Amino acid sequence: MARQYAIGVDLGGTTVRIALVNHEGHVRHAESYRSQATRGPEPLMDDMAAWILEVIDAGRATRDDVVGVGIGSPGPLSPSRGIVFKAANLPGWVNVPLCRAMRERTGLPTVMDNDGNLAAFGEYWAGAGKGVENIVMLTLGTGIGAGVVVNGELLHGHFENAGELGHTIVVPDGRRCSCGQRGCLEQYASAANVGKRVAEAIRNGEPSRLAGLVEEGVTFGSRKVVEAAGEGDVLAARIWDEACYYLAIACVNIQHAYNPSRIVMAGGMSKAGAFLVEAVRRHFKLLTWDLHDDSPDIRIAVLGDDAGVIGAAGWAWKAEDEGRWDQPPGF
Ligand SMILES: [Zn+2]
């Protein structure tokens, strides 16, 4: 019988999620594991190999049923060479030949890509982008991850770093970003930064029902801001609306750069659902051009936390279907 599954791995600083996924994008079995990333790459890769076999086993499959492994990793990295150059949340990961190292440990062919890219590819393949060939996804979490699918292919660019839309500048000389630039989108419209901006305004004396939390030293993200805005908190509503305004600016820029039929919002902040998407659409309408009706459909992602593993497995399936496993992984 033909092999029925691919393995998708979503490698993160806190959690490694691994799923056994069939050719239609359905998850047969998935598990999350604690990365304990401070111990460095070698022990973590040893564990990942063991966890992969565990997930195959738990899905009542064998290694012979699996075509290969796809891994979504934080970057910067080189998908074509299978190397992670550096990863902010993975200490000690410098020039790690991830594909080669994992292939040696599991005996399975392995491909990798940027985690934001593969989450976008997951939604394209089996989620909110199903049925269309051009989507852009923004994952609104601690920062903003992104991925661009053009004509059914992930966009990589010359340095294989295309689609870092969280670091497109929306405010000239704006807030300093951890990346070294100023005014990046993620400084204004990520789940964490929306909370941070409300806390800053409270410290500067603006009244808000979230002032108590700030006094107690509690950090909060977009969920608390959405709650407070819904209860009529003026400050929370203003910062939320500003975030949606900046996202709408990003959407206009995305429209003109890539002309996608859909822009999909994922990540913690997307749990606000209609509260997010309707505000972004409203601002988008006021900001976009009137020369041509090519506005993308802005919507919420549907795969939730599994977008990463489904996309990673989908990337492995694509390698299988196109016979691309032979590209040289590692140095
Ligand atoms: Zn930045």
- b (16+ CB within 10 A) / e for 254-271: bbeebebebbbbbbbbbb
pLDDT tens track for 189-220:
999 999 999 999 999 999 999 999 999 999 99
| Residues whose CB falls within 8 Å of the CB of residue 66, separated by 6 or more in sequence, listed in order | 3, 5, 6, 7, 20, 56, 108
CA of 149 to the centre of ligand 1 (A): 22
Tokens 């790459």 sit on residue: 41
Kindly indicate whether the domain formed by 5-115+306-321 is annotated with CATH number 3.40.50.620.
no
The residue among 155, 164, 44 whose CA lies nearest residue 96 is: 44
CA of 143 to the centre of ligand 1 (A): 9
pLDDT at position 2, please? 83
CA of 2 to the centre of ligand 1 (A): 45
In whole angstroms, what is the distance from residue 163 CA to residue 87 CA? Answer: 17
Gyration radius (Cα) of the chain, Å: 20
CA of 177 to the centre of ligand 1 (A): 5
Three-class SS of residue 126? helix
Q: What is the pTM of this model?
A: 0.94
CA of 209 to the centre of ligand 1 (A): 30
CA of 308 to the centre of ligand 1 (A): 22
**Contact between residue 143 and residue 191 where contact means Cβ atoms under 8 Å apart:** no
CA of 43 to the centre of ligand 1 (A): 31
pLDDT tens track for 262-276:
999 999 999 999 999
Whether cis (ω within 30° of 0) applies to the bond prior to 260 is no
pLDDT at position 324, please? 86
Bridge pairing between strands 144-150 and 153-154: antiparallel
**Residue 327: pLDDT above 80?**
no
CA of 242 to the centre of ligand 1 (A): 18
Do the domains spanning 5-115+306-321 and 128-302 agree at the CATH topology level? yes
The residue among 160, 133, 136, 126 whose CA lies nearest residue 19 is: 126
The stretch 22-30 carries a mean pLDDT of 97
pLDDT at position 329, please? 53
| Pick among 1.10.10.10, 3.40.50.880, 3.40.50.300, 3.30.420.40: CATH of 128-302 | 3.30.420.40
Instruction: Break the chain into its structural domains and give their ranges.
Output: 5-115+306-321, 128-302
**Contact between residue 146 and residue 166 where contact means Cβ atoms under 8 Å apart:** yes
In this prediction, residue 331 has a pLDDT band, given cuts at 50, 70 and 90, of very low
In whole angstroms, what is the distance from residue 300 CA to residue 283 CA? Answer: 16
CA of 193 to the centre of ligand 1 (A): 12
CA of 161 to the centre of ligand 1 (A): 14
Three-class SS of residue 13? coil
pLDDT tens track for 127-149:
999 999 999 999 999 999 999 99
Distance from the first to the final alpha carbon of the chain: 34
**Residue 328: pLDDT above 70?**
no
CA of 179 to the centre of ligand 1 (A): 4
- At residue 228, φ and ψ (nearest 5 deg) are -65, -40
DSSP per position, 132-166:
-S-EEEEEESSSEEEEEEETTEE---TTS-TT-GG
CA of 111 to the centre of ligand 1 (A): 27
pLDDT tens track for 141-192:
999 999 999 999 999 999 999 999 999 999 999 999 989 999 999 999 999 9
CA of 180 to the centre of ligand 1 (A): 6
**Residue 238: pLDDT above 90?**
yes
**Contact between residue 240 and residue 282 where contact means Cβ atoms under 8 Å apart:** no
The pair of structure tokens assigned to 59 is 């899905």
Three-class SS of residue 68? strand
CA of 61 to the centre of ligand 1 (A): 42
The residue among 209, 204, 287 whose CA lies nearest residue 252 is: 287
Three-class SS of residue 8? strand
